Amino acid sequence: MLGAPIKISSSPSCCSSSENRKAIMLSPVCLDKSRSFQFLFSGSKLRCSKTLDTKQLSSAKFKVSRGSKFRVFCDSKTQELQIRRCSPLLEKASLPSNGAPLSDEWKAVPDIWRSSAEKYGDRVALVDPYHDPPSTLTYNQLEQEILDFTEGLRVIGVKPEEKYALFADNSCRWLVADQGIMATGAINVVRGSRSAVEELLHIYNHSESVGLVIDNPEFFNRLAGKFCSNARMRFIVLLWGEKSRLAKNETLGVPVFSYKEIVKLGREYRAALIDSLDARKGYRYEVIGSDDIATLVYTSGTTGNPKGVMLSHKNLLHQIENLGVLGPAKAGDRFLSMLPTWHTYERACEYFIFTRGIEQVYTTVRTLKDDLRNYKPDYMISVPLVYETLYSGIQKQISSSPNAIKLIVFSFIRISLAYTELKRIYEGLCLTRNPEEPSHIVSMFDYLWSKTIATILWPLHVLATKFVYKKISSAIGIQKTAKSGGGSLPTHIEKFYEAIGLEVQNGYGLTETSPCIAGRRPYYNVLGSVGHPIPLTEFKVVDSETGEILPLGSKGIIKNPLATRQALDEDGWLNTGDIGWIAPHHSVGRSRRCGGVIVFEGRAKDTIVLSSGENIEPLEIEEAALRSPLIQQIVVIGQDQRRLGAIIVPNKDEALLAAKEASIVDADAVDLSKDKITSMLYEELRKWTSECSFQIGPILVVDEPFTIESGLLTPTMKIRRDRVVAQYKEEIANLYK
């Protein structure tokens, strides 16, 4: 009888009944807490009527005694309503309105998909060409995929506020899984496949995750040996690949679901919910709040174990709603995604571009150059190393050209560098730390002089653009803007891209600030800076020892206020650990449009203190040294020593080519001795770091590059200084002997 409509009825008068008519039916209405009810009927009169709610009726017993009277005994047990937490706008159609209209305001990150589906419908949202099968999804299809995956997760037992590890790399299914977990009110804990197994196990257990969503069987098999015996997993979801490829006996009875199974479960259950009012009544509905935690991101710091950062929906929505100030983005533009999508910088920017109707194409490091040419994206976000690599490739291609062409191209580049330098002067975009404004006379002379010379050089710059830079730009492929973050872009590389007409905009942020807190605008693209703060963000620069606020132009520790109360001072300011300064405001002169931009000069923890007591920021020296084509990677060392040293990974191909051109080795030589490479590197350091405040003394030349796999690079390709120094501890000690 459970779940069927049941009524107690008699003749038209509910207080009378024929003795021969003893049909018993119970009608569902609300039932109080667990009780027993007794119904007494006489042969001619209905003494009592009581209504029962079949939703909460888990068992019922009916006993009819012989004779003129009978009793009905009903034992009921209360069944708890399940909590169903929803992203309010995404699942607006399934939420009870209670007579009040539901808001169209974003309260949770997954809400953006309802808005985007309404605005951009059949526009392509995602292109994922390198997975099997390749995928292309429109905004409508992407929203439905997220809804189905979300419901599928609920079916297999995902609960609000619990944590689930999402260990996978860039793909359309990563995005669906990310948003699906969030839309249930649960918290995802994200990381990529290139991290060490020990690191992933630490993240999983430290975050108290209870389930694992993983990229593919091969990745899981790599983790299985340590995970299955050291981590508690309620289930495993494979985003790609077949379950049959999992190593036998490794899952230890843990249920395993494929991506397609989750989507199918969700689609079927969504359909059942739509068709059944009773099924919908089995839930107590709650909405995800803006202050609820959306994700837990473990920083890929350059020192120590990764540390977890909790980001709320409000944190991420602030990014989505305010990143538009950093540049125009319109529906139909194309964005190339190559940074780890779990990284907060890439992740926040992707969420933002999906609210603007942009088409996102996934690429890989291996296919990046081809995809830049083939897809010709309007935008790309990356770290400085990628732009440095593109720059080195262009320089190498020019250098390998015939002498006449090489001379012409380099001459054009020198002219364009001079032209853009002068252009920055008369446009007022030259950085200065000097708080004193120049006089009006000096400013006028500066303007007229720079404008006149720039006008003379302009025709040659236009000529170079037409015959040289268009070809270079076509090879690079980026049509509008390249965004750089996660570190400083070397000045000479910035100036080169500016000279050839590619706009590169640097930004600044931390995982703890979710992440972007400053960025260069198209109309204030001040080279050497990370731009102005984005809306609703404040900065101050303080003395590293006293904590006192420093005047504009003074170098100190950058601080930023944050809503969270962790890692803050008593006034609510986050110590970023970064050294920098804020440009002073000028009303006239070559720096008149630079006021308020932030300049980043390195990490405070990277500061090297010599035995003489002198403090040195290694970043300036490293950037200068990396201008040499012979130096692939460099770490400046010297803590507590009398002078600086360096660990250098040479570019052996370039070194061999340079040695042949300088007749250091024969033209048919295939290798260089370590002594010859070391000697050449000393010459390069003298050449490129001569203008730095400190010079490098002894150097250690190592053959193996610093890589993510070796643990010497973070997943965002920053050098882990402490690990490099630890790995070469003995060699460094010998170096200073």
Q: Which of 32, 96, 87, 59 is nearest to 284 (CA)?
A: 96
Q: What is the DSSP letter of 488?
A: P
Q: Is residue 445 left, alpha or beta, with left meaning phi > 0 and alpha meaning psi from -120 to 50?
A: alpha
Topology of domain 383-463+487-603, CATH: Luciferase; domain 3 (2.30.38)
Distance CA 346, CA 339 (A): 6
User: According to the model, what pLDDT value does residue 9 have?
Assistant: 34
User: According to the model, what pLDDT value does residue 250 have?
Assistant: 75
Candidates 3.30.1330.10, 3.40.228.10, 3.40.640.10, 3.30.300.30; CATH matching 608-736: 3.30.300.30
Please check whether residue 204 is in contact with residue 212, taking contact to mean a CB–CB distance below 8 angstroms.
Answer: yes
The set of residues, in sequence order, having a beta carbon less than 8 Å from that of 134 and lying 6+ positions away, is 128
Please check whether residue 505 is in contact with residue 522, taking contact to mean a CB–CB distance below 8 angstroms.
Answer: yes
Q: How far is CA 651 from CA 42, 110, 658, 671, in A?
A: 101, 45, 11, 12
User: According to the model, what pLDDT value does residue 108 have?
Assistant: 97
Average pLDDT, stretch 621-636?
Answer: 93
* Mean pLDDT lowest among 41-45, 124-128, 302-306, 661-665: 41-45
* Mean pLDDT lowest among 35-39, 161-165, 376-380, 679-683: 35-39
Please check whether residue 375 is in contact with residue 334, taking contact to mean a CB–CB distance below 8 angstroms.
Answer: yes
Average pLDDT over the chain reads 85
Task: Give the pLDDT confidence of 341-369 residue by residue, as tens digits.
Answer: 998 999 999 999 999 999 999 999 899 99
E-state strands within 562-681: 573-582, 598-603, 608-609, 615-616, 631-637, 644-650
Q: What is the pTM of this model?
A: 0.80
CATH of domain 86-317: 3.40.50.12780
Distance CA 731, CA 726 (A): 10
Indicate if the pLDDT at residue 97 is higher than 80.
Answer: no
Task: Give the pLDDT confidence of 437-450 residue by residue, as tens digits.
Answer: 999 999 999 999 99
Distance CA 278, CA 26 (A): 16
Residue 159 identity: K
Indicate if the pLDDT at residue 581 is higher than 90.
Answer: yes
User: According to the model, what pLDDT value does residue 124 have?
Assistant: 98
User: According to the model, what pLDDT value does residue 562 have?
Assistant: 53
Q: State the Cα angle at 339 between 334 and 342, rounded to 5°.
A: 110
User: According to the model, what pLDDT value does residue 302 have?
Assistant: 52
Q: Which of 611, 599, 618, 609 is nearest to 689 (CA)?
A: 618
Distance CA 479, CA 475 (A): 11
Indicate if the pLDDT at residue 333 is higher than 80.
Answer: yes
Task: Give the pLDDT confidence of 29-80 residue by residue, as tens digits.
Answer: 333 333 333 333 333 333 333 333 333 333 444 444 444 444 444 444 455 7
Residue carrying structure tokens 């169209």: 104
Domains in the chain: boundaries? 86-317, 383-463+487-603, 608-736
